[in-house]
Amino acid sequence: MRVKAQVKRIQPEIAASQKPPASGRLQSTEKIIAIGASTGGTEAIKELLMQLPAAVPGIVMTQHMPAGFTRTYAERLNKMTRLYVAEAKGGERILPGHAFLAPGGHHLIVVRSGADYLVKLSDAEPLHRHRPAVDVMMESVALAGGKNVLGVLLTGMGKDGAKGMLDIRNHGGYTFAQDEASCVVYGMPKEAVLCGGVDQVVELDKMGAAMLEKIKTMGSGNRL
């Protein structure tokens, strides 16, 4: 019951952030990728981002990590990958080739502004005992991006992200989960599979290629 109550308190903030375009205005066709992880996720995210080219659609990421560690982790990823990676501060436009990491102690929410996706930070209470929580980020991405979203859930303990992955699928997006053999802990991906939130289960070392292949089928639409 407590988890349901937490979700109900966070959901109005997410919903209020999503402003549908005025009638007759062009809706966004930009693709966006949402990545969630926990135990073992720091290395898994690094390995995945290293597989991706600089022209990949914009990325938002939630890794369960306390405040004070996410900035240095993002800086390390920025040096090791072809992407611009940074700890989110709020207000950033999510551009191709950019990856924003939820800061420890804050939920990351994606909002629409016209045809753009923007980052917003929230101090709403923890969900599944986590802030940032993967479910919060993924639910907001599902509402903001609909069929233009790719959801990715990597290694981690618990069930955070399972509902978010299902939200992405229910809004027309496509979802990938890391396979059991390559996970440090096959908790979060397993829960997502069990609840019907996963389109494709993939080994970590093949995840980037699978994502890029799927993006090709989604058509163009990313703007600079």
Active-site residue identified among 28, 64, 140, 167: 64
φ/ψ of 80, rounded to 5, equals -95, -10
Active-site residue identified among 135, 160, 167, 179: 160
Active-site residue identified among 28, 38, 140, 182: 38
- What tokens were used for 124? 């709403």
Residue 90 CA to residue 69 CA, distance in Å, equals: 17
- What tokens were used for 224? 């600079």
- What tokens were used for 153? 């859930």
Catalytic annotation on 160?
Answer: yes
DSSP 146: G
171-203 b/e with 16+ CB inside 10 Å = b? bebbbbbbbeebbbbbbbbbbbbeeebbbebbe
Letter for the amino acid at 66?
Answer: P
Catalytic annotation on 38?
Answer: yes
Residue 116 CA to residue 52 CA, distance in Å, equals: 22
How far, in Å, are 31, 95, 102 from residue 74 at the CA level?
A: 22, 16, 10
- What tokens were used for 23? 């009638």
| Catalytically active residues, by annotation | 38, 64, 160
